[in-house]
Amino acid sequence: MDYDFLVASSVEKALDYLDEFENVMIIAGGTDVLVNIHNKSKRLPNIAHLLNINSINILKYIHSLDHHVEIGPLITHSELIAEPIIGKRFPILLQAASNIGSTQIRNRGTIGGNICNASPAADLLPPLLALNAELVLTGKQEERIVPLKNFLTAPYKTILRQQELLTKIRIPIYDKDYHMHFQKIGRRKALSISRLSLAVVVKIDEKGIFQDTRVVPGSATPYPQHLQEVEKMINGQSIHQINLEEVSRLTSKELVSITGTRWSTPYKKPVICTLVQRAIKQIIKEKTKNE
């Protein structure tokens, strides 16, 4: 199939193209789109035009503000890894980006592409969800600010409109009472698509009580989402008395309630339970070590 190839060097020009043409597929790093086109993936919508936005330099930035960090959607995974602000403020995001594919993929793939592709196995989505990231979606007539948890609707599906462009990712800055943990299990160490991953963010107060818990697995549900019942169970418990076996049982139950019983369930249930237990144990260890 042939496509018209469009190139935009500004947000305004990109929005003009999106407004003028129908069936436009946006391409930035191309690590997902080009592979899907080559493989004639059934996930691809009807495409008449490819719009390359990689030359929009204004969308390549990382800014640390008073209460949050803003990231441009064209920042690559390698640029995330190299940015000291990310390592200092959001170690789980650094860890996730470091586990993405090969050096070549990390050099080309972008945070915005990882978000908008909305793959169930997207490495950055679990930590971004656990960090309560929000997105700025820009159209010609209006700008919307949407929590990432409301942006994803199904595997490879989002609420991004045809005439909109993702222009900003915002992540709140957390104080020292917050602890973060990320894990990933792949079929092999190099170039692995995530088989299962887990991002956990939790606040532990001065009395050692869990608060504001976020538990987000990747590749375990149709699209990355919070395990809300597990989060509720952990909240209010003491780091000295938490029953990890109960947490595991609820993790298993909630996972099946979201996905149903599938061919992969016998593998995923015990592994996700193990990852949750491991994350909580590591966070408790770090908390008690620093006291």
Give the pLDDT means over successive 10-residue stretches in the chain (291 positions): 86 96 88 69 76 96 96 97 96 94 89 93 96 97 96 95 97 97 72 74 97 96 95 97 96 93 84 95 91 68
DSSP string, 141-168: S-EEEEEHHHHEEETTEES--TT-EEEE
End-of-domain residue from the set 120, 145, 172: 172
Specify whether 55 is located in the same domain as 96: yes
Give the CATH number of the domain where residue 41 resides.
3.30.465.10
What are the CA-CA distances from residue 188 to residues 108, 125, 140, 179 (Å)? 21, 20, 44, 28
pLDDT at 48: 84
| Containing structural domain, residue 244 | 178-289
Specify whether 232 is located in the same domain as 280: yes
Reading the block at residue 165, the tokens are: 């462009």
Specify whether 162 is located in the same domain as 208: no
User: What spatial distance separates the first Cα and last Cα of the chain, rounded to whole Å?
Assistant: 62
Contact 171, 128 (CB under 8 A): yes
pLDDT at 46: 77
The reported pTM is: 0.93
Specify whether 183 is located in the same domain as 143: no
Contact 218, 198 (CB under 8 A): yes
Specify whether 166 is located in the same domain as 185: no
> Of 75, 73, 55, 71, which Cα lies nearest the Cα of 63?
71
Q: How far apart are CA 69 and CA 60, in angstroms?
A: 13
End-of-domain residue from the set 148, 172, 196: 172
Specify whether 208 is located in the same domain as 274: yes
Number of domains in the chain: 2
pLDDT at 71: 98
Which residue bears the tokens 């990852």?
A: 275
pLDDT at 69: 98
23-50 tens-digit pLDDT: 898 999 877 777 667 666 666 667 888 9
Specify whether 268 is located in the same domain as 225: yes
